[in-house]
Structure 1
Amino acid sequence: MRFYLLKVMRMKSKIIALGIALVLLASVIGTASALSNSGGGKWEYYKEITVKENSGKTLTDFQVLVELNSANFEFSKAKSDGSDIRFSANGEELNYWIEEWDAGAKRAKIWVKVPSIPANGETKIRMYYGNPSAGAVSDGDKVFEFFDDFEGNSLNTDKWIIFGNPKMTFSNSILDISGSCGAENANGDVLESKKNFNHPLIYEAYYKYDHTPWGNYAGIGLGRYSYPVSTHCAIEVDRSCYDNKGAFIIENGDSRDGCADWVVNDWEKTKIVWTDKFVSFERGGAVCTFTSSIPSQSIPVHLGDSYFNTLTSHHFREYIKPRLFIKFSHFLWDL
């Protein structure tokens, strides 16, 4: 399961509406070699991307989603896994993470951390590609507020605290976790991030679960289950030990629940938007929103308890409404 967390940009207690327009201009360079992990090779091509801010708010360390397709990018000129992609602005290499790269289907999603976008102004960044010798530098930890894609064969205990005794296995960046459901005022078998977070933010995760509706529990989201039930707060998509909630929030014992039920044994992506005014859940094409019992405390990322299965990634990122979008021009030059 991957986690990635983003901050929410706000101004005068209103959510910022941010428009980002990206225009790609393709160029041949053939000389760029100062970028990281070049493997001794050089980058043959770049595209210049113009990012325009129109909310009137200067943005710093902002995560920008770059979506590539056959209309705006020639995948044949990059490595098949996208590992030669690099970004820079004003001569400074930028951190990025590849969420998806499918050269066969000619589509990709790349999150780039842009240092500064001036209010009502523009920032130009370059996307380099075309170096067969280059190695991968995609790194979600350097892009998001919190990130874990469960690489390796053990849990990263610099990021997580283990409660109880959950069973965990790791394979191909998939965490398979199961355990026991805790009784009231008990933790059960769960993982909590060491770092706490507060609104505004967006949480996204890919997951599937494999248990039946009743008698078990599986939850992902944010929450501190070391608190007594009467005072704890949480925001999560869950299947309860005792009922069938779908989505659940609680603040100091006052809770709300609802939304569509989970799908068994099927990969889903959940997005949770948490602000001081509302919490919304988007999962499987359904969206539900709560406007009361909004948690106000700083709380950790949370996942567990029993028979939760196969997690691929979590991340938090910066939140805006309308959601940040990137539009490429349809002009494509032969390189």
Structure 2
Amino acid sequence: WNYRTSHEIIGSLGAGENYQIEIVVHYGYGTHLGKDVYCKQQCQPDFDDIRFTDDDGHTLLDYWTESVYESDNATFWIEVKDDLDFDTTIHMYYGNTTVSSLSNGTATFIFFDDYENNNLDRWDETTGAGFSCATDQVVHGTYALKFQSTPGADIMKNLTETGEPLTHDFMVHSWVRDDNQIRGGHAPLVKSQSQFWVYACRGYNSQFSYLQDAANYVPWPQNSVGGSDEWFEINVGLSMSTDVMRAWKNEFYMGEIGLIAANGASVPDDLFQIGYGQQSSYVTWWDDTYVRKWIVNEPAHGAWDEISTVNWHHSCSDTTGFVYNDTWNMNWMAWD
């Protein structure tokens, strides 16, 4: 790897370790700012040579490449191992014409399924029938999750870390598409261990809505207009620590509601399942499902250093060990 730039992440109390951050890497020229960094045409046009390391400059960080527009830009999600209650620095390496991507969504997120394995093995339970991996409508790749059957079905995933139920705040990401959003699918829905349902976001009467009192769907406060036969990117953050839920549609903020309003009762601190459901006979598709760590006041992007010329040697894709030497700003790396 011939080039490196460093980036400060400004910490926020409550973020903790293993927090996922988004970085957009541009192939061409520009001014580094926020989550955007520019490689001056010194990386591969398909961005396969992009690597991220910890503040030590040699410990590789897990990442997932969300999207690639060749010779233009690519969006990456990186899992930062350091405690982001405090400021930290990560490094980005590039400038290697012979390597392939190490993108790995499963290693990066709490839960991940882009459906490219053409099965639903990553999910824990299914009620009803009609869920499958399909190719007729997708956002990225070849496959998406599709529901087409009788109403009243759902598919759920237990949220755990190291075998224990998830206890911290989190965000659920999904793309969703309905053939008829008068009665669209849930994207997502959340269930607690005590069977408390939070209908976090559903296409209903052509608006993205939440369930207010176990009977009535209410549009999110702003930017809630949806539509049929169109993909929408939905992000829903659930904060048990502050008892609020926030949502975004196509990166536009839809507002904040109290978790107590989502189903007319207090939400217990044991939310542990996320999933999708459909209560009508219409068709719904979902793509790029992932769950990441999230807090209301997220860590922020700080300064970027100017690009520096280095020589960083990565001998193979296995990262079980390293040999490191730093002489006259020339960095030689090898993994055994």
TM over 0.5: yes
Match of 1:145 in 2: 110
Q: CA deviation at 1:330?
A: 8.2
Further displaced range: 266-275 or 196-205? 196-205
Distance in structure 2 (CA, Å) of the matches to 1:327 and 1:103:
26
Alignment partner of 1:265: what SS? Answer: coil
User: Which residue of structure 2 aligns with residue 192 of structure 1?
Assistant: 156
Residue 257 (structure 1) aligns with: 218
- Are residues 50 and 281 of structure 1, via their aligned partners in 2, closer, same or farther at CA, if it must alter by over 3 Å? closer
> Structure 2: 5+ residue runs without aligned partners?
31-36, 136-140, 161-165, 311-336
Distance 1:173 1:250, change over 3 A: farther
What is the root-mean-square deviation in Å for CA atoms of aligned residues?
3.2
Matched, 1:68 2:33: no
- 1:57 and 1:167 mapped to 2: Cα distance? 37
For 2:209, the equivalent position in structure 1 comes to 247
Amino acid at match of 1:127: M
* 1:234 corresponding residue in structure 2: 198
The correspondence for 1:109, drawn from 64, 75, 79, is 75
Amino acid at match of 2:301: I
Which residue pairs with 2:6 in the alignment? 48
TM-superposed deviation, 1:59:
2.9
Distance (Å, rounded) in 1 between the aligned partners of 2:40 and 2:286? 29
Mapping of 1:120-159 within 5 angstroms? 120-121=86-87, 123-155=88-120, 157-159=121-123
Shift of 1:257: 3.0
Equivalent position of 2:325 in the other structure:
none
1:293 aligns with 2:251: no
In the alignment, what sits opposite 1:38? Answer: none
Distance 1:161 1:80, change over 3 A: farther
Q: Which residue of 2 aligns with 1:98?
A: 65
Aligned to 1:279: 245
3-state SS of 1:134 partner: coil
Structure 1 position 133, deviation (Å): 1.7
In the alignment, residue 88 of structure 1 is paired with which amino acid? T
Q: Once the 2 structures are TM-superposed, how far is the Cα of residue 56 of structure 1 from its aligned partner? A: 5.6
Q: 1:319 aligns with which of 289, 294, 315?
A: 294
Cα distance, 1:217–1:100 mapped onto 2, change above 3 Å: closer
Cα distance in 1 for partners of 2:301, 2:24 equals 7
Gaps of 5+ in 1: 1-42, 183-187
1:116 alignment partner, SS class: coil
Change (3 A) 1:178 1:201: same
Counterpart residue number, 2:326? none
Q: 1:329 to 1:125 in 2, by over 3 A?
A: closer
Tell whether 2:123 aligns with 1:162.
no
Contact 1:256 1:293 in 2 (8 A): no
Change (3 A) 1:204 1:163: same
Scaled by the length of structure 1, the TM-score of the pair is 0.70
Q: Deviations over 1:173-194 (max 9, x none)?
A: 4324123454xxxxx2221114
CA contact (8 A) 2:115 2:145 kept: no
Match of 1:19 in 2: none
Mapped partners of 1:167, 1:64: distance in 2: 31
* Contact 2:110/2:159 (8 A) holds in 1: no
2:50 aligned with 1:85, yes or no?
yes
Whether the 8 Å contact between 2:190 and 2:199 is mirrored in structure 1 is: yes
Q: Deviations over 1:189-223 (max 9, x none)?
A: 2211143655521111112211251xx44112133
Letter paired with 1:290? I
Distance 2:271 2:159 in 1: 9
**Counterpart selection for 2:16 from 41, 59, 62:** 59
Contact 2:239 2:295 in 1 (8 A): no
Shift of 1:321: 3.3
Structure 1 residues 118, 194: closer, same or farther in 2, change over 3 A? closer
Higher RCO (Cα < 8 Å, 6 or more apart): 1
Q: Does residue 140 of structure 2 align to residue 174 of structure 1?
A: no
Matched-pair identity in %: 16
| TM-score, normalised relative to structure 2 | 0.70
Q: Residue 96 and residue 325 in structure 1: after superposition, are their counterparts in 2 closer, same or farther (change >3 A)? A: same
